[in-house]
Structure 1
Amino acid sequence: MEPRGVRRHHGHLSRGGGRPLPRVTERPRVRIHYRRPPDREQIFDQIVVLERDDVIVTLSETMEFDPPMRIESDIVLETGSSVVWFTYPGAWHDVGRFHLADGTFTGFYANVLTPPEIDGRVWHTTDLYLDVWVSADGTARLLDEDEFEEAVARGLLDEDTARRAREEADRLLAEARDGSWPPVAVREWTLERASAGA
C-alpha cells in the first residue's frame, strides 16, 4: 500500500493530484580495467561527474581499505574514503583527490599510467608503477621508485614505456614543486562539488 497522498503516475511520484515529480536519473558510470604488470588486473566502477574533451571527472565513493593506505606514516585513505578522479584523455597519468572517511582532504595522488583506451563506459589502462603525491600541506614526493626499477629490471616494462613513465613522473614532480600542478580542474572539483554533481 502506498503512503497516503502519494500515487504513482507513469513511473513518477506525485502528491495529491499535482504534476508528476521529475524522474530521478542515475548518473552514468564507468568501468575501469586497471592492469598492473605482469598479470594483475582490477576493475573499478566509478560515477561519471563531468565529461569534457579535455578531462573526465569520476567519483569513487566509500571505498574499502583494510588496512588503511599510508604515505610515510600518514593515513591518506581508509575504509569509507571517497576519491575524486581526473582522467585526461591522451595523458600518461590520472589524478586523485584523496579524502578520509569524514571528508578530510589528505592530498593529490597522480598515477603514472598508459593513456587510457576509452571505449564508451569501459576503459583500459596499465599502471607504470611510479606515483606522485602532494600532501595537503603542499609537500611533493615521488613514490614507488623501487617498484618501478624492479619492474624495469625484470623486463615488465619495455624501454620506451619506462622512459616515458620516468619523464612523466619527473615533469609532474617538478610542476608540483613549483606550484603549477595540479591543474585548475583538480583544484576546483572538490569532494563536495563532485558529490553534489553525482
Structure 2
Amino acid sequence: MIRPLEIAYHRPPDHHQVYRQELIFESPAVQVSFQPAMPIDRPMVIGGDVALEPGSPVVWFTFPGAWHDIGRFHDAEGRFTGLYANVLTPVELHRTSSGPARWATTDLFLDLWHGVGRDPVILDEEEWAAARDAGHIDGDTAARARREADALRTGAASGAWPPAVVAEWTLARTLRARGELGGTDS
C-alpha cells in the first residue's frame, strides 16, 4: 500500500526542509520511497554530466540503521543517470497509524555519486571539512561520515555496492507499483 511520507531533513547548522514523497515498499531491511518530480531549480551537474533535472523522478532507498540512503537518479525523460548516496545520520522512522509516515535525519555533507559508465566519486568534501571545523558536526560524527563515504566508494568500485534491492526497484517497477503503465526498466 502506497503511503504519503514526510522526511524532516536537517543540514547543519540551520537548514531545515521537509521532503514529501510516496512510501512505495516497506520491509525490515529497506524502505523504498518515490519522488515523482524532484523539487530543484536547476540541473544537478556532476563531472560535466547531468545527474538530475528539475522535475526528474527519483527512487529512494532507506536502510534502517544505515548511515546513508541511496537515490536512483533519472533525467526529466526518466532515463537512469546513476546512483547518489547521501551520508547522513540513521533515519529515525516514526511509525504512524494514519496520515503520512514521518521520518527525520541529519545530512553529514558527504555524498557519493556513481554515474552510469563513470567511476564513483565522493562529493562535497570541502563542505564536510568546513562543517567539521566550524563545529556544526562533532569530530566523532564527522569521522563516522568519512568512514561511511569511503566504504561506499570502495564498495561501488569493487561491485559490492549497492545492495541488490537497488537494481530491483527500477523506475519502471516503481511506476507499476503506483498503478502507472509504461516506463523503461531504468
Mapping for residues 26-45 of structure 1, pairs under 5 Å: 27-45=2-20
Work out which of the residue numbers 139, 152, 166 in structure 1 matches 2:119. 139
Cα contact 2:56–2:78 (8 A) shared by 1: yes
2:160 corresponds in structure 1 to 180
Listed one character per residue, the Cα deviations across residues 45-81 of structure 1 (whole Å, up to 9, x for unaligned) are 1111110000000000022332111112111111220
Cα contact 1:64–1:78 (8 A) shared by 2: no
Structure 1, unaligned stretches of length 5 or more? Answer: 1-25
One-letter code aligned to 1:129: F
Cα contact 1:117–1:123 (8 A) shared by 2: yes
Higher relative contact order at CA 8 Å, sep ≥6: structure 1 or structure 2? 2
2:172 corresponds in structure 1 to 192
2:183 corresponds in structure 1 to none
Work out which of the residue numbers 63, 81, 92 in structure 2 matches 1:106. 81
2:143 corresponds in structure 1 to 163
- Report the TM-score when normalising by structure 1: 0.85
1:60 corresponds in structure 2 to 35
- In the alignment, the residues of structure 2 paired with residue 64 and residue 148 of structure 1 have an alpha-carbon distance, to the nearest angstrom, of 23
One-letter code aligned to 1:179: G
Mapping for residues 10-49 of structure 1, pairs under 5 Å: 27-49=2-24
State the number of aligned residues.
173
- Report the TM-score when normalising by structure 2: 0.90
CA drift at 1:159? 1.1
One-letter code aligned to 2:33: T
Cα contact 1:59–1:195 (8 A) shared by 2: no
Structure 2 residue 61 is matched with structure 1 residue 81: no
- In the alignment, the residues of structure 2 paired with residue 88 and residue 134 of structure 1 have an alpha-carbon distance, to the nearest angstrom, of 19
1:94 corresponds in structure 2 to 69
4+ residue runs of structure 1 moved beyond 3 angstroms? none
Report the 3-state secondary structure (helix = DSSP H, G, I; strand = E; otherwise coil) of the residue aligned with 1:95.
Answer: strand
One-letter code aligned to 1:89: P
- In the alignment, the residues of structure 1 paired with residue 151 and residue 107 of structure 2 have an alpha-carbon distance, to the nearest angstrom, of 17
Cα contact 2:122–2:153 (8 A) shared by 1: yes
Larger radius of gyration: 1
One-letter code aligned to 1:117: E
Structure 2, unaligned stretches of length 5 or more? Answer: 96-100, 179-186
Q: Percent identity?
A: 49
Cα contact 1:134–1:140 (8 A) shared by 2: yes
- In the alignment, the residues of structure 1 paired with residue 16 and residue 55 of structure 2 have an alpha-carbon distance, to the nearest angstrom, of 22
- In the alignment, the residues of structure 1 paired with residue 152 and residue 122 of structure 2 have an alpha-carbon distance, to the nearest angstrom, of 9
